[in-house]
Structure 1
């Protein structure tokens, strides 16, 4: 039994949704705006100012103690990241799994839309569901760490020793919201597949009905 044009279109649409999901996850991993924070020194809060932003692997810091800005890029990983090891590993690991699931969903969507015979939508649903699950897991881990730790401090031990503080001055950045958008994209794929499954019409069932109507019109004539 062949898929009708509507079903093929809905399934093929999930290919683009999966590609978008992949692009958003890669962008979130490669950018440095998971957290954006301001800072000041408790010893001279009026003269000092700081800006810190960092992602899962790299960050940027600008500090001014009253004598001009000092800019510095820094690399971060588990153990040296402002987020604790469990949060860094949990977030990075789940995003990697989500990336693999979205890649699998893109391949399955391309194969299913190109197949002549009707293909089972279950693998496509499973792969997109995994992408949603892992992105939501990464979001949950990062939000937990943000509310427990990062909103109070993103400074290094060296900066803390120099009386710098970011308490109450940190916000979730663009990179985090890219993961939220990736999760929404994968969820939209699931909706497309379910809509396609709900449409019970196929080419092999539509054609006889159309042929019967044509024959009836000829007989009436």
Structure 2
């Protein structure tokens, strides 16, 4: 049974959606704005100022003690990530699985839209559901860490010793919202797949009726 144009179009649309999911997840992993925060020295709050932004693997910190800005890059390898180990490991691991599922969804969507015969949408549906599941898991883990710890403090032990504080100045950055966008995109992909699966029109269901009419016309002659 051959796929009609509508089903092909809906399945092929999920290919672009899956590519977008890959781009969003990779961008979130590679950027340093999962959390953006400001800081002040409790001992000198008027003249001091600080800005901190970080992602899952690295970050950037700018501190002004009152006599000029000092820039400092930090990474998880140095053990200076503001989030606790369970939080960034859990978030990164789930995003890695979501990224693999996005790649699988791309391949399945390309093969499904190119196939001449009807194939089961279940594998494609499962891949996109996995993207939704694991990105939501990453979001849940990061939000938990944010509300329990990061919104109260993103400073290192050395900065805390110098009376720096970022209490209640942190915000979720663009990198985090890219994952939210990836979740929505994968959910839209699932909607497209379900619509294509629910559409019962196929080329071969129309062909027998047309063939019968043609044969009837030939018999009249």
Unpaired runs of at least 5, structure 2: none
How far apart, CA to CA, are the structure 2 residues paired with 1:130 and 1:43?
A: 49
- Answer yes or no: is the 8 Å Cα contact 2:38–2:169 preserved in 1: yes
Q: Relative to 1, partners in 2 of residues 1:31 and 1:213: Cα closer, same or farther, differing over 3 Å?
A: farther
How far apart, CA to CA, are the structure 2 residues paired with 1:93 and 1:122?
A: 25
How far apart, CA to CA, are the structure 1 residues paired with 2:61 and 2:55?
A: 12
CA RMSD of aligned residues (A): 1.9
Unpaired runs of at least 5, structure 1: none
Structure 2 match to 1:70: 70
Q: Relative to 1, partners in 2 of residues 1:68 and 1:116: Cα closer, same or farther, differing over 3 Å?
A: same
- Answer yes or no: is the 8 Å Cα contact 1:94–1:137 preserved in 2: yes
Report the TM-score when normalising by structure 1.
Answer: 0.94
1:145-182: CA deviation from partner (whole Å, max 9, x where unpaired): 00000000000000000000000000000000000000
Report the TM-score when normalising by structure 2.
Answer: 0.94
Structure 1 residue 213: deviation in Å? 7.2
Structure 1 residue 206: deviation in Å? 2.5
- Answer yes or no: is the 8 Å Cα contact 2:74–2:81 preserved in 1: no
Q: Relative to 1, partners in 2 of residues 1:78 and 1:208: Cα closer, same or farther, differing over 3 Å?
A: farther
How far apart, CA to CA, are the structure 1 residues paired with 2:11 and 2:49?
A: 52
- Answer yes or no: is the 8 Å Cα contact 1:43–1:163 preserved in 2: yes
Structure 2 match to 1:43: 43
Q: Relative to 1, partners in 2 of residues 1:31 and 1:215: Cα closer, same or farther, differing over 3 Å?
A: same
How far apart, CA to CA, are the structure 2 residues paired with 1:171 and 1:217?
A: 73
Greater displacement, 28-37 / 111-120: 111-120
How far apart, CA to CA, are the structure 2 residues paired with 1:46 and 1:208?
A: 83
Structure 1 residue 217: deviation in Å? 10
